Structure formats: structure tokens, C-alpha cells
Amino acid sequence: MIVGLALIALSAAGCASTASAETEVQGPAELVPVDGSDIQKVRLTERAIERIDLQTSPVAEREGTKVVPYEAIVYDASGETYVYTTTAARTYMRSPVTVFVIDGEDAVLTDGPDVGTEVVTIGTAELFGVEKEIGY
């Protein structure tokens, strides 16, 4: 019985040291608050970017309107539309957009980021999940 109690104590001590070591490990993503907003920037490690195969494309201009790939559009639970823009190296922020029409694989915007701004086309669901702390 004494041996059993000793084994339980040792295994509990091992779990405690593992837990504290895990809290010191930097995760694949970090949330950065944006002053005066409920939107948070998402900063990723290089490895996280590789794992989700994050890709971007610039906002284009067509006949005086802004156009992004439809796959860049994110819908929240209330139906609001957003894209994730690149704000710095490995840093992305959800930006509101107004979609005028979906034209095939493109979304034509009446309001959104400036032409030339890089928007995320692959990895938007992962960024949204990290920002909203869903399944993260």
C-alpha cells in the first residue's frame, strides 16, 4: 500500500511539472487587442501559417469597384461580412466589408479595404476561430 501511495504521489508530481512546462510554451497564435474595438488582431507563428497553408491576394479594382476573391469573405453569426487583412508580418485583422454582389468566384464590394491591401483567401476560418476562441 505504501508503494502504491508513493507511485501516485510521484505521478501527480510529474503531472504538475508537465502542466507548468506547457504553460511556458508559446502557442501557434496570439491575440492582440485593438483599442476601442471588439476586433482583435491575430498574430501567427511561421509554422502556423504553413500548417493552415494561409494565402493572400490583393484587393483588386474592376470598373471603379473593389473586388476580392469570394473565398476571402467571412460571415459572422449575425450575417455581417468581413475579410482578414494583413496588417504586419504574420499579423491579420478582421475588417468589415459591404458585399454588393457575388460574381462567380469574386465578391464585388461597395465598402472595404483599399485597393492593393492583402486579404486572406485561404485560412480565414482558422483566423476567425482563433480570434473568437472557438475550438482553439
pLDDT in tens, 8-35: 333 344 444 333 333 332 789 999 999 9
pLDDT of residue 74: 97
Phi-psi domain of 73 (left: phi exceeds 0; alpha: psi -120 through 50; beta: other): beta
pLDDT of residue 22: 33
pLDDT in tens, 51-100: 999 999 999 999 999 999 999 999 999 999 999 999 999 999 999 999 99
For domain 27-131, give the CATH number.
2.40.420.20
CA dist 79 → 4, 38, 97, 99 (Å): 57, 16, 12, 11
pLDDT of residue 136: 53
- Entry pTM: 0.80
